[in-house]
A = this chain, B = another copy of it.
Amino acid sequence: MESAAQNRPSFDTIAIVGVGLLGGSIAAAVKAKGLVRRVVGVGRNSQRLDAAQSAGLIDAASTEIGNCKAELIVVCTPVDLIADGVRSAAATADAGTLITDVGSIKGNICRALDGALPDGVTFIGSHPLAGSEKQGHRHADAELFVRSVCVITPDASAAVVQVNKLTSFWETLGATVVRLSAEEHDQILAETSHVPHVVAAALASSLQNENSQFVASGFRDATRIAAGDPNLWSAILLNNVDAVLDSLDSFRDQLASLRHAIENRDTQTLQNLLRNAKRNRDELS
């Protein structure tokens, strides 16, 4: 009991900036876990905030990011708005405030905020590897982070107490927390998420409309992520250009090897390549 109570953070107020799928799920999860007295939702659209409040996800709503006095502020906006959001929230925050985000890229955000916040206000990047192609707080799920991985990217100057607080926060929501540098994060995610999105989009685009009736579950699975929001994904890709290009080259090499074996009717090589792919995939299951 005692150690659980020690490890479990508790907050008077948490502010969620951007109450969509991820923000809404965090709100639902912190309430379900009893981590917080009050959740404030911040956003530009007051109707949507009202709906989130009616749904019981948030206790109060504000369209002014500067008003969100909270010990923990989680910025859940699209990636190209995160750094500005953090700066605005930090400008009026009390000393001791911890700010984090849920963005799919970390390097550009962390670099933009390096040395840019008032004394006593800490930003540590987070990226919970959870979500879906669905959008909006209507799909919020208090269990979204259970058995997921959450990467956090504290820089060398981050206070241990704040790193531990953020770690406990995500762990209480069910995630396993992994610390990486922002640059390591962006390289890895280019491979595991950003390039798969580009590949799925290319596959979906190469389907001729008149052939769509001949699509079975394999094509549907392989292209599911291509249904994600084009503006959000464009911003993610353009905030991680170098790592995405590197990983695209690795993918292109693998594809070229497979193409070469097919073109040369080289059964042995083709079977070996497909066996290697299957082994990699089976290890994820």
Contacts and interface: CB of A to CB of B under 8 A. Distances in A.
Interface of A: 129-132, 148-149, 151, 178, 188-189, 191-193, 195-209, 211-231, 233-234, 237-238, 241, 244-245, 247-248, 250-255, 258-259, 262-263, 265, 267, 270-271, 273-278, 280-285
A227 B275 contact: no
Given A129-B216, A223-B281, A241-B263, 13 more contacts: A191-B206, A191-B208, A202-B251, A202-B255, A204-B280, A205-B276, A218-B225, A224-B281, A226-B280, A234-B267, A234-B274, A238-B262, A248-B262
A224 B282 CA distance: 9
Contacts of A278: 201, 204, 226-230
B265 A233 contact: no
A203 B199 contact: yes
Contacts of A213: 149, 178
A266 B246 CA distance: 18
Residue of A130, A223, A273 with most partner-chain B CB within 10 A: A223
A274 to B, nearest CB: 4
Contact of A207 (B192, B197, B233, B245): B192
Given A218-B193, A278-B226, A273 B205 contact: yes
Contacts of A234: 267, 270-271, 274
